[in-house]
Structure 1
């Protein structure tokens, strides 16, 4: 039962809620500044009800930035991958720039929505979703630890960028995420003629398997079955500093990313040839070569970095007529589009690419190639040929 009393010209209450079983100290709450005795009684009753129902949240001044740091430690303790921790930290930094110094209990849904809307002017819709996902985890963690009552990220509307008439008129071909078959042929031909050591195998591997570049760099000879013509994906390469000595091998992105796929006879032949060349390099550099069984290795035996392959790729792209913003990941989308063009079932594509979520595959499926669009148009024209010839003199 709370004790109501006068304090100067205003009213206050003091409530005793028993003894803390852990510390042995009395649990009490005092609050003053009420204009009337009735206000003090109502506030005391509300406190007692919330306390007994487990709904009471002690007012704290913990900032959002401090809460993020605490959550990241917890996230790391759960065995999260180094790459995931880094990605979450970077995403949260975007929100910390805006809300970092505000006490977490004072961050409203409106304040968070404003922050997300502002970030949407700079970042893509996919990245905004990633930022929101990380931030939501922090607030859920705070609520689970009874630091906040409500989660301000709940029910937020994530902005979607709409194309303007100008965008549609200009087209978005330059922003396509994959190469057409003819473009891939041009790139690989240039690579064969002008590429440096290992370039042709690396980029053919990406285009013919759809591997993520980190999955490809992590490949070891023990992952290749030359008799069965298969390749297994059980790890991925992580090296945010691009220092060849400071790499880490992690488990793949998702459970679905662990897979064994069949590879083309061309790749088997190229891998066989590459193995012979590598054995000679190992022999010539034996005192210095660190043999960890990597397929795509430097002359010292370390796995090649993603930056190294990206620079090699840009060098070759400049020699082509391709006018697209191509990255190593573009070959993964290229592989997907070519599988679609070859009428491979969507489920088989999902399994080959290691997409745990069918929606990921379907998103790429939506980016149909020009050849498929043209074929659809031709099929329609042939279907309507008899009717069409009667419509024009």
Structure 2
């Protein structure tokens, strides 16, 4: 026990009260007692106050929101992928801190947080984005609770904004007929580009995320089983102007998908052409060569997305222009209209659960009420 008798007959009590959650330094409290019994009472009562969240007044101070936000970011940096951390860091520094930077954690009320969300809505931000921002605000206050800096969460009763309309607005997709109009521009001398033809066809008929697609290597493709292993993603690090290969978005994103035979044959054709193209740059094609690579650089994501819109206008295709991610939505629509099971769709997309798939694409599923009524009719 950290109690020491002094030369004058009194007792010194040295009490350790854990680590300061913000500074990372050990907190200590020292008191002088007249007797051994008093020293023990001081020690145990002070420790009890600490464990109950009632710190001695000399140790209490008003932590600023900024301090907790910085601590929150430091923890996130250790817990998540670098690309994810950059997103969180940008939102905290650009959207959250400017509003709360002059506040202390204890001074912020439920109404303050509610009013903050109102300002985000006035900026006409989508509900899905606002909910993401508010999740990080909540995370900062969760940290305050964990560190015994607060006893109650000020935003506990604040419900998420409904985001169904946001999602539906964002879900743009092409039907097979519309995709066929687009992809034929690569076949009739209008725009000879076998790489783009392969890239967009693969995206439409697999639904993989762009980062996953760009990270694929030839060793991930089994031409005998027509299977593709998705086990990594290519992330652009803007600050370093470089790309980083990391694990996929979630553990469930590690998956194997089967492609149709025509797509498999298209990949084989591209492999032969890629070999010749890369040789012009002095690059040897190997099993570790990325499938979607046609020179010494990584394909430009923005160009690949913008090209779709440009082509629709240039060649007067009479189809709605979409971005590259909408090809993933198009694949889901294709599967749904083919009557595919939600569980299979969820697995193919690499979603954590079927709930995720329903949350995003539920409105695309046909109403089953008529089918149910027809089956009941058959029972009469």
TM over 0.5: yes
1:367 counterpart SS class: helix
Q: Structure 1 116/191 Cα, relative in aligned 2: closer, same or farther at 3 Å?
A: farther
Correspondence list, 1:120-159, <5 A: 120-121=121-122, 122-159=124-161
Q: 2:98: which partner in 1?
A: 97
Report whether the alignment pairs 1:227 with 2:224. Answer: yes
- Greater shift, 128-137 or 222-231, is seen at 128-137
Find 2:269's aligned residue among 273, 277, 287: 273
Contact 2:277 2:294 in 1 (8 A): no
CA distance in 1, matches of 2:312, 2:343: 32
Find 1:26's aligned residue among 13, 20, 30: 30
Count of residue pairs the alignment pairs up: 335
Structure 1, residues 343-362: CA drift from partner, whole Å, max 9, x if none? 11111111111111212211
Question: TM-score, normalising length from structure 1?
Answer: 0.75
Q: Structure 1 155/77 Cα, relative in aligned 2: closer, same or farther at 3 Å?
A: same
- Consecutive unaligned residues of structure 2, counting only runs of 5 or more, are 1-11, 17-25, 33-44
Correspondence list, 1:71-90, <5 A: 71-78=72-79, 80-90=80-90
Q: 2:293: which partner in 1?
A: 297
CA distance in 2, matches of 1:162, 1:274: 40
Report whether the alignment pairs 1:205 with 2:202. Answer: yes
Report whether the alignment pairs 1:56 with 2:68. Answer: no
Report deviation, 1:103.
1.3
1:366 counterpart SS class: helix
| Cα root mean square deviation, aligned | 3.5
Report deviation, 1:238.
0.4
Question: TM-score, normalising length from structure 2?
Answer: 0.77
Report deviation, 1:158.
2.6
Contact 2:219 2:287 in 1 (8 A): no
Q: Structure 1 351/152 Cα, relative in aligned 2: closer, same or farther at 3 Å?
A: same
CA distance in 2, matches of 1:72, 1:315: 40
Contact 1:215 1:252 in 2 (8 A): yes
Q: 1:166: which partner in 2?
A: none
- Greater shift, 82-91 or 149-158, is seen at 149-158
Find 1:252's aligned residue among 248, 252, 262: 248
Contact 1:216 1:236 in 2 (8 A): yes
Contact 1:214 1:306 in 2 (8 A): no
Report deviation, 1:24.
6.0
Contact 1:218 1:303 in 2 (8 A): no
CA distance in 1, matches of 2:83, 2:342: 29
Report deviation, 1:275.
0.8
CA distance in 1, matches of 2:27, 2:74: 26
